[in-house]
Structure formats: structure tokens, C-alpha cells
């Protein structure tokens, strides 16, 4: 009986000390609430950066005073940090926010291959003449939007700061002139503490 009790106790101890996993979750009702769970780039950082930069960009003269809705082509946001950050997701959010403002429209650089393939199919005779589309009708972009994401990490003892800087640049495709550049900076502070079971 004593051996059985020890066996059961040891099973309990080992199971309590074993690997843990996140097994139960719930939806956070406030998607805009700050999320600083760790010292990495978060969706809160992305929201703050995008909201600030888009608000600034749509007020720039090249967009505000345009006679026709400006057409923008997004190229890339370079990630110059040491983290793996999905920069396309950041630029996707920028596009969504600008489209929602109705101040500009976008050409989809990523869809060009699909468009060319569809032109070829529609020109094969499988599509009616009344509905088929072909080369020569696309609208050219007026502006190119790109930028970079930088970070500086500093640590002293138990204290750590993570600084992010996102810079976006809007360039006139015809002249090559930078029409606007915007920058958003974030600094987050952390203190190391023991995380127990």
C-alpha cells in the first residue's frame, strides 16, 4: 500500500512538473486594447504605427489636392530589425486604412501575374467578346509607397527598452520626387522578473 501511495504521489509530482501548453483560450472583446505580453513587435504596435502614419499621409498635399483620386503602388517595407516581423501585414493594414479613407486607390503589384494569365485565358475564345478584357486598359500608378522598419534594443541589468521606428515614403512615379515621408516611433520598457510554475 505504501509503494502504491508513493507511485501515485510521484505520478502527480511528475505531471505537475511536466511541459505546459496553452489549452484554453477566449476572445478578447477589445481588439484595440494594449498587448505587451512580451518584448516583441505586437499587433498593438502595428495599430499605433499604421493609424498615425495613415492619418498623416492622407493629409499630405499630393493626396489632398489631387484632381483625380491618386493611384498608389505598394512595393515593400524593409525589416531592418533582428525580429521576424510580417511587414506585408503592416502594409496590408496601411492599404485597408487608406482605402477606408477614400483618399486614394491602389494597383495590386502582386496580382500582375494572375492578371496576365487571365488576359491570356480570356483571349483564347472561351470568353464572350462582350465581357472579355485584355492588355492596354490598366491604370498606371501615380505614387509608390515603401519604407523600412528599424529597431534598437538596450538592456542594463533587469531593465530593457525596445525602440521601433517605422518610416514610410511616398514617391512620385513620374518625377521620382519624394512627395511625403512620415515616421512613427515607439519605445517600450520592460523589467525582467522570475516566471514560476
3-state secondary structure the chain: CHHHHHHHHHHHHHHHHCCCCCCCCCCCCCCCCCCCCCCCCCHHHHHHHHHHHHHHHCCCHHHHCCCCCCEEEEEEEEECCCCCCCHHHHHHHHHHHHHHHCCCEEECHHHHHHHHHHHHHHCCCCCCCCCCCCCCCCCCCCEEEEEEEEEEEEEECCEEEEEEEEEEEEEECCCCCEEEEEEEEEEEEEECCCCCC
pLDDT at 2 over 70: no
For the residues 20-48, what does the mean pLDDT come to? 70
Instruction: Count the neighbouring beta carbons within 10 Å of the beta carbon of residue 57.
Output: 24
- pTM for this structure? 0.77
Q: Which of 3-7, 35-39, 124-128, 152-156 has the highest mean pLDDT?
A: 124-128
The pLDDT, as a whole number, for residue 7 is 59
pLDDT tens figures, 6-26: 656 665 555 555 566 656 666
pLDDT at 31 over 60: no
The pLDDT, as a whole number, for residue 43 is 87
Q: Show Cβ contacts of residue 133 under 8 Å, excluding neighbours closer than 6 positions.
A: 118, 119, 122
Domains of the chain, CATH where assigned: 40-126+139-191 (3.40.50.10610)
pLDDT at 151 over 80: yes
The pLDDT, as a whole number, for residue 23 is 63
Cβ–Cβ < 8 Å for 95, 74:
yes
For the residues 1-5, what does the mean pLDDT come to? 62
Q: What percent of the chain has pLDDT over 90?
A: 61
For the residues 46-68, what does the mean pLDDT come to? 93
For the residues 78-84, what does the mean pLDDT come to? 94
Amino acid at each position: 500500500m505504501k509503494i502504491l501511495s508513493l507511485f501515485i504521489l510521484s505520478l502527480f509530482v511528475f505531471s505537475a512538473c511536466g511541459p505546459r501548453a496553452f489549452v484554453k483560450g477566449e476572445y478578447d472583446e477589445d481588439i484595440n486594447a494594449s498587448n505587451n505580453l512580451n518584448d516583441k513587435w505586437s499587433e498593438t504596435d502595428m495599430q499605433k504605427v499604421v493609424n498615425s502614419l495613415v492619418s498623416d499621409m492622407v493629409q499630405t498635399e499630393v493626396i489632398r489636392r489631387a484632381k483625380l483620386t491618386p493611384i498608389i503602388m505598394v512595393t515593400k517595407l524593409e525589416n531592418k530589425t533582428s525580429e521576424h516581423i510580417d511587414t506585408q501585414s503592416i502594409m496590408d493594414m496601411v492599404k485597408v486604412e487608406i482605402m477606408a479613407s477614400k483618399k486614394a486607390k491602389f494597383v495590386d503589384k502582386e496580382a500582375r501575374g494572375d492578371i496576365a494569365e487571365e488576359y491570356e485565358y480570356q483571349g483564347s475564345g472561351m470568353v464572350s467578346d462582350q465581357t472579355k478584357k485584355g492588355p492596354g486598359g490598366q491604370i498606371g500608378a501615380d505614387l509608390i509607397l515603401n519604407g523600412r522598419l528599424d529597431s534598437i534594443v538596450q538592456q542594463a541589468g533587469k531593465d530593457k527598452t525596445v525602440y521601433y521606428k517605422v518610416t514610410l515614403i511616398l514617391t512620385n512615379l513620374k518625377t521620382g520626387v519624394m512627395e511625403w515621408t512620415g515616421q512613427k516611433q515607439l519605445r517600450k520598457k520592460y523589467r525582467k522578473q522570475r516566471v514560476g510554475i
